[in-house]
Structure 1
Amino acid sequence: MTQVLRTPETRFENLKDYPFGPNYVSELKGYEGIRGHYLDEGDAGSDEVFLLLHGEPTWSYLYRKMIPVFAETGARVIAPDLIGFGKSDKPVSEQTHTFEFHRNYLLQLIEHLNLNNITLVVQDWGGLLGLTLPQAMPERFKRLIIMNTGLLMEPVTQPAFLEWKSDIVDPEELALDTFMKKYAPTLDDEEAYAYAAPFPDESYKAAVRKMPKMVANPEQACIEISSAAVPFWSTQWQGHTFMAVGMKDKMLGPVVMNHMQQLIKGCPEPMQVPEAGHFVQEFGKEVAEAALKHFNL
């Protein structure tokens, strides 16, 4: 049985701009003893689904500005917390946190909730994982909204990433509120606290610590699965795509996103968000509204 910690509910009380009720799933196959959390907003009976996947080191709080915009269309809006993040349980061993561990959880969650007609919304690790999901179940996916992310097919060594990795891995005590303010300087103190809320102390941060190491040295399964996503997106993808780029992001900004635009079949010219850095969702209301306009929703 995987050893996990569960963040006390008191840590999530009265978070700024996060009025959403919790939903939990337990005992998915291979995840026995682990409780996962997801938001389920909008119309639960809708045929249209927005699936919002966060990255490192965030959680569903990241999508607080986009969820209401998508829900107003009458769609169902699902925003999971990856295992080890947010209100989901936190496996304490870094060895638990592999690419396939997190990817398979998302695949099982989609099947468990029987999600179809999915508009996939991804950024950072939400994309590193999420962009490999449709190839396994293409009939479930209809649209893509992609922000500052890519596919992980080789070790990443660029200076901006190495600084990011160092900021997470090196400190004995990782102050996530301070980290988030560095990479999302528009955050106020309450918002920065909310991002740090799931992690009362270092014992809760195994997933946060592991993610950058996985980017620096991806496992073979990650490379193979991610490489298989390339022909899917370039030749097999039949859905509609919207791209938004946080232009101040030195790690997964314009250069990487230009490559992704060329890779994804039918991807139009991206929406440039001049003031946004890595966490494009902090400008999420404008991005969501532009995406809906693009899709005529």
Structure 2
Amino acid sequence: MIEALRTPEERFENLPGYNFRPHYLEHANGLRMHYLDEGKIGGRTFLCLHGQPTWSYLYRRMIPAIVAAGHRVVAPDLFGFGKSDKPREDAVYTFDFHRDSLIALIRALNLQQITLVCQDWGGLLGLTIPKKMPERFDGLLVMNTALGTGDRPLTQGFLDWRAWNNKNPDMAIAKLMQRSCPQLSPAEAAAYEAPYPDLHYKGGVRRFPNLVPDSPDAPGAELSRRAKEFWQNDWQGKSVMVIGMADPVLGAPVMHGLRKVIRNCPEPIELPEGGHFVQEWSDLFIAQALERLG
């Protein structure tokens, strides 16, 4: 079993806009994964995947709109994030570790008619999963992310972010989110920091930039290249792309390149003021996105 930390529940009391009932799945490795499960079971399921340094709190604005449209939302916290357990050893966090945990969740809940909703690492991981279980997926809402194929140079913006991340192991998450999303209230920005009482809880957060495949033989790169072929040639579902145009790392150039990979992906919804964490601008696009998905 993997030794892990578990954030005290009182850290999550009275978070603004986050009044959802928690659900937990015990994995075979002994770790407990938290996920939200809102809306009716039996129709389309929106599987909402977060990235670094966020957690399911990132989707608090989108969940009510999706549920009001008659759908189910499942939004997990990756291990090391949110209310999920946080392995003590940084080396535990690998590309396959995170990906396998999401596949296990999908199977355990027997999710069907899935619309993959992904951004940042939610996409780096999530975009590789439909290739493995295509019968479960029929929709895609993709925002400010990429496929980590390892066969192209990483952008300077990402390299700068990785260097900063590595120099700041006790990342000030609330301050980062406030800078990235100036519309956040102080309490909302602080909510992003809630899962992490101190730096010992932040192993999963600080590991992600170093897990991005940066060579053809890096872990996850081959999976991502196979996923690219799937999206180019085999994808049959509906797709919607939303771009936060103010994102300096995974903005318009990266996203327009990704659009060419996704079969029959229509023109994106572009938000000039939207940043990397474009879910925080979801009031501007969620109704249009849901209409496009049908």
Normalising to structure 1: TM-score of the pair? 0.95
Pair 1:202-2:196 in alignment: no
RMSD: 1.4
Letter in structure 1 aligned against 2:233:
T
Q: Unaligned stretches of 5+ in structure 1?
A: none
Q: Unaligned stretches of 5+ in structure 2?
A: none
Task: Name the SS for the 1:181 alignment partner.
Answer: helix
Which residue, out of 165, 172, 183, partners 1:186?
183
Which residue, out of 253, 256, 265, partners 1:255?
253
Matched residue, 1:274: 272
- How far is 1:217 from its partner? 4.4
Check 1:177–1:34 CA distance in 2 against 1; reply closer, same or farther (3 A cut): same
- How far is 1:189 from its partner? 0.8
- How far is 1:216 from its partner? 6.5
- How far is 1:13 from its partner? 0.3
Matched residue, 1:237: 235
Check 1:137–1:70 CA distance in 2 against 1; reply closer, same or farther (3 A cut): same
Instruction: Say whether the 8 Å CA contact 2:154–2:214 is kept in structure 1.
Output: no
Q: Deviations over 1:87-117 (max 9, x none)?
A: 0000011110000000011001000000000
The percent identity for this pair of structures is 49
Letter in structure 1 aligned against 2:237:
G
Matched residue, 1:104: 100
Check 1:251–1:172 CA distance in 2 against 1; reply closer, same or farther (3 A cut): closer
Q: Return the alpha-carbon distance in structure 2 between the equivalents of residues 144 and 275 of structure 1.
A: 23
Q: Return the alpha-carbon distance in structure 2 between the equivalents of residues 228 and 138 of structure 1.
A: 13
Q: Return the alpha-carbon distance in structure 1 between the equivalents of residues 213 and 153 of structure 2.
A: 5
Q: How many residue pairs are counted as aligned between the two chains?
A: 292
Matched residue, 2:209: 212
Q: Return the alpha-carbon distance in structure 1 between the equivalents of residues 61 and 211 of structure 2.
A: 29
Pair 1:150-2:142 in alignment: no
Pair 1:13-2:13 in alignment: yes
Pair 1:136-2:93 in alignment: no
Which residue, out of 222, 238, 244, partners 2:220?
222
Matched residue, 2:3: 3
Check 1:120–1:21 CA distance in 2 against 1; reply closer, same or farther (3 A cut): same
Matched residue, 2:72: 76
Task: Name the SS for the 1:228 alignment partner.
Answer: helix
Q: Return the alpha-carbon distance in structure 1 between the equivalents of residues 113 and 126 of structure 2.
A: 15
Letter in structure 2 aligned against 1:204:
Y
- How far is 1:156 from its partner? 5.4
Q: Deviations over 1:104-162 (max 9, x none)?
A: 11001000000000011000000000000000000000100000001011275422112
Letter in structure 2 aligned against 1:76:
R
Instruction: Say whether the 8 Å CA contact 1:156–1:215 is kept in structure 2.
Output: no
Which residue, out of 174, 179, 188, partners 1:177?
174
Instruction: Say whether the 8 Å CA contact 1:157–1:216 is kept in structure 2.
Output: no
Letter in structure 2 aligned against 1:15:
L
- Segments ≥4 residues shifted beyond 4 Å: 216-219
Q: Deviations over 1:246-281 (max 9, x none)?
A: 000011000001011111000000000111110010
Q: Return the alpha-carbon distance in structure 1 between the equivalents of residues 234 and 83 of structure 2.
A: 35
Task: Name the SS for the 1:109 alignment partner.
Answer: helix
